[in-house]
């Protein structure tokens, strides 16, 4: 009788486990299907852009635009680099993004460390002031921003673009790193202070190496955001200073001039030149980015 009772109790549990396993299996299958569709939607246009840079105009606008190119020549890449001045625009972008990212990380990490580790009057007010910048769309401030930069005498200069990039990148940098610095153990910093380290030395030699995953993650995000920025360079670098244009302005100019002299392979070659560096950066630092995003949750 007891054996029958136990069997009756076990049967519903086994059935529930089977139903749960089946539901998890169905959800997993749907998740994989969604990921496959998402991968095709993302990788497909990038791959087609890269292949189109090796085609000719008739191949791109012909009856089989998705077909492979007949030959893989680098003529379009050469035209984009020299005739369309993509090389100059890319060097300008590397300069602007490199300097702005460097100072964004320097100022943002110092501000985030102070806000996360020190208690003083106005701490929360300053933190929320930084965070409020996340809710302010860029295009709403374009007109006053133009006049402010012009009054400073920095319009049509790379320095003006760098300062604006730093200002717009600081809110997310401070928001992200403040939460990250809070997860780091305080015992190490206290031990360093007891050994005679100053606040500055403790920050640069102790806390910065410990926060390396988070710093790498936010650095990559800032590089991607600033590299792909289009509105700010258009407003701050006018058409009269073409030699100072950034990569997004150069590609937009190629696209505009295509209506008069269509060079679609050159346009796609320029797009490929703008995409490949960011893909390389992300592939190299992929593990650091993932570890930085999950470090706070693990700790």
Q: What is the pLDDT of residue 245?
A: 87
Q: Which of 215, 121, 148 is nearest to 176 (CA)?
A: 215
- Is the model's pLDDT at 69 over the cut of 70? yes
Are 244 and 176 in contact by the 8 Å Cβ rule? The answer is no
Q: What is the pLDDT of residues 7-57, one digit of tens each?
A: 445 455 555 565 555 555 667 778 888 889 988 888 888 898 898 888 888
The pLDDT-based confidence of 171 (bands split at 50, 70, 90) is very high
Beta strands in the chain (DSSP E): none
Q: Which of 227, 225, 221, 217 is nearest to 95 (CA)?
A: 227
Residue extents of the structural domains in the chain = 10-52, 84-298
Question: Helices 247-257 & 86-117, crossing angle to 10 degrees?
Answer: 140
CA distance 289 to 179: 16
The pLDDT-based confidence of 298 (bands split at 50, 70, 90) is very low
Q: What is the pLDDT of residue 297?
A: 47
Q: What is the pLDDT of residue 161?
A: 93
Q: What is the pLDDT of residue 173?
A: 93
Neighbours of 25 (CB within 10 A): 10
C-alpha separations of 59 from 49, 63, 194, 258, 268 in Å: 13, 8, 71, 16, 13
CA distance 59 to 61: 6
Q: Which of 231, 170, 183 is nearest to 211 (CA)?
A: 183
| Lookup: tokens for 234 | 């258009």
Question: Helices 212-227 & 158-183, crossing angle to 10 degrees?
Answer: 150
Are 269 and 90 in contact by the 8 Å Cβ rule? The answer is no
Q: What is the pLDDT of residues 89-134, one digit of tens each?
A: 889 999 999 999 999 999 999 999 999 888 888 888 999 998 888 8
Q: What is the pLDDT of residue 289?
A: 67
| Lookup: tokens for 270 | 């320029």
CATH 1.10.3720.10 fits 84-298, yes or no: yes
Is residue 65 classed as helix, strand or coil in its secondary structure? coil
The rounded radius of gyration (Å) of the Cα atoms in the chain is 26
The pLDDT-based confidence of 244 (bands split at 50, 70, 90) is confident
Q: What is the pLDDT of residues 175-187, one digit of tens each?
A: 989 988 888 887 8
CA distance 89 to 101: 18
Q: What is the pLDDT of residue 31?
A: 82
């Amino acid at each position: 009788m007891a054996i029958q009772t136990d069997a009756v109790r076990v049967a519903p549990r086994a059935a529930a486990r089977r139903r749960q396993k089946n539901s998890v299996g169905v959800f997993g299958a749907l998740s994989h299907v969604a990921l496959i569709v998402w991968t095709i939607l993302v990788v497909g246009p990038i791959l087609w852009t890269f292949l189109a840079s090796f085609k000719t105009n008739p191949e791109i606008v012909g009856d089989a635009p998705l077909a492979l190119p007949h030959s893989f020549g680098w003529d379009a890449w050469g035209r984009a680099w020299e005739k369309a001045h993509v090389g100059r625009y890319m060097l300008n972008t590397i300069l602007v993004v490199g300097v702005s990212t460097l100072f964004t990380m320097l100022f943002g990490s110092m501000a985030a460390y102070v806000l996360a580790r020190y208690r003083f009057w106005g701490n929360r007010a300053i933190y929320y002031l930084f965070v409020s910048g996340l809710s302010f769309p860029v295009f709403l401030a374009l007109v006053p921003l133009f006049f402010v930069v012009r009054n400073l005498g920095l319009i049509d200069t790379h320095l003006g673009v760098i300062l604006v990039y730093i200002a717009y990148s600081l809110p997310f940098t401070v928001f992200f790193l403040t939460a990250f610095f809070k997860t780091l153990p305080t015992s190490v910093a206290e031990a360093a202070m007891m050994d005679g380290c100053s606040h500055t030395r403790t920050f640069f030699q102790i806390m910065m190496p410990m926060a390396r995953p988070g710093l790498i993650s936010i650095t990559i995000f800032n590089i991607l955001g600033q590299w792909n920025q289009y509105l700010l360079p258009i407003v701050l670098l006018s058409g009269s200073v073409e030699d100072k244009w950034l990569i997004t302005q150069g590609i937009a100019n190629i696209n505009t001039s295509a209506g008069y002299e269509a060079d679609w392979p050159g346009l796609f070659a320029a797009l490929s030149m703008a995409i490949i560096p960011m893909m390389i950066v992300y592939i190299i630092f992929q593990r650091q980015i993932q570890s930085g995003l999950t470090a706070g949750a693990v700790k």
